[in-house]
Amino acid sequence: MRDIKNIEEFQSKIKRIIITEEQIKKEIEKVGKQISDSYDGRPFLLVSILKGSFVFLADLCRAITVPCEIGFMCAKSYYSGTVSTGKVEITMDLDRDISDYHVIIVEDIIDTGRTLKYVAELLKSRNPLSLKIVTLLDKPSRRVIDLKADISLFTIPDYFVIGYGLDCDEYYRNLPYIAEYDEMVE
C-alpha cells in the first residue's frame, strides 16, 4: 500500500461505518459485567493479541469491576495487504506462567480462525485453570478452522474492516468505530 499523504486520502478509504462508537461502548459494558460476575474472586488474566485488540482490551478492562491482570502476545498472519497468509507467527509471547490463572484471550476479530486457534492451543498447553475467548468481531463466513469464541460482541459479513484497533497497513487503528475499508478507491 502506498503511504497516505493527507486527510482526504485517509478518509476516502472509509466506505461506510458498520458499528458505531456508541454500539461498541454499550456491548463492552455488558461483557465487562458478565466477566466481572463470572470471575469475582478468581484469579484471571486478560491476554491481548496485539496489535489489533489493544483498544478493545483497554476499554474492556475498564468495564471490568473486579481485580484482573493483563498480558500481551503478538501473533500475525497478515504481513501486508488484506488477506491472511495462513502462516501464524508468534512475535511476542507472554512473560509469565499462566497455570494459576483463568485466561481470557481478548481478540479483535476472528476471520479464518487460524491465528486464534494456534494461540489458543499454545496457551492451553501451558495448563491455565481455564481458557475462554472474547472477540470484538466475528466473521464466520470466512472461517476455515473449527473455532468459536465464548463471547462475540458483533458478527459481521465478509468485509475488510478498519478502526477501533483494526488496521490496513498500520493505518486506521485510531478510528473510534468499525468501518468497511474501500479496497476499490485508488
Active-site annotation, residues: 111
Dist. CA 154–CA 138, nearest whole Å: 6
- Per DSSP, which regions of the chain are E strands? 14-19, 44-50, 69-76, 89-92, 102-110, 130-138, 151-155, 161-162, 178-181
Residue 128's identity, in one-letter code, is P
The region that residue 9 occupies, defined by phi over 0 for left and psi between -120 and 50 for alpha, beta otherwise, is alpha
Distances (CA, A) of 17 to 60, 84, 166: 21, 23, 13
Cell of 100: 494459576
CA 131, 51, 24, 59 torsion-angle sign: positive
Cell of 17: 461505518
